Amino acid sequence: MAICRRVVLRFPKNLVEKPFVYHLVKDYNLQFNILKAQVTPSEEGIMSLELKGQKDNYNKGIEFLTKAGVTIEQLGQNISKNEERCTQCGLCLSVCPTPALALDQKTRQVSFNSNHCIACEMCVKVCPVKAMEVKFD
């Protein structure tokens, strides 16, 4: 069975330079799409990516990463905005790392475009009325 998952990988300082993504492709036949990558001030590497492949290969790839010392967090697959709950307070705009949440200049409403969303869930944490919702597969 083929699956597609969004995950956040955290690499400790000593692993930042290692070619883990290369191994996921070569050894586990996974496809990837890097959504965001950065190195924090403490030199920890954080990479948000979408991984696709056969389920058993995906599981083996995740096991390989875990054994190597990479921390993995699986992200919610679908984020949606409950328009009835949203009070347009704008809090989520300040934490969204992508253009997924934006202020519509004409209507002055907060709009959500799922095509840009990387499911980091930052908006879910800050929304005071729980208008940003996560659904898992």
Q: Which of 60, 91, 102, 133 binds ligand SF4 (CB under 6 A)?
A: 91
Instruction: Give every CB contact of residue 52 below 8 A, 6+ residues apart in sequence.
Output: 2, 3, 4, 30, 31, 32, 33
What distance, in Å, lies between the first and last C-alpha atoms of the chain? 14
Minimum Å distance from CB 25 to ligand SF4? 25
Q: Write out the two tokens for 108.
A: 């002055």
Residue 89 as a binder of ligand SF4 (CB under 6 A): the answer is yes
Least distance to ligand SF4, CB of residue 103, Å? 9
Of residues 3, 72, 86, 102, which one binds ligand SF4 by CB under 6 A? 86
Q: For the window 94-133, what string marks contact with ligand SF4 as x by the rule CB under 6 A?
A: -xxxx-xx--------x------xxxxxxx--xx-x-xx-
- Dump the DSSP string for 63-83: HHHHHHT-EEEEPPSEEEE-T
- For residue 137, the 8-state DSSP code is -
Residues near ligand SF4 (CB under 6 A): 79, 81, 86-92, 95-98, 100-101, 110, 117-123, 126-127, 129, 131-132
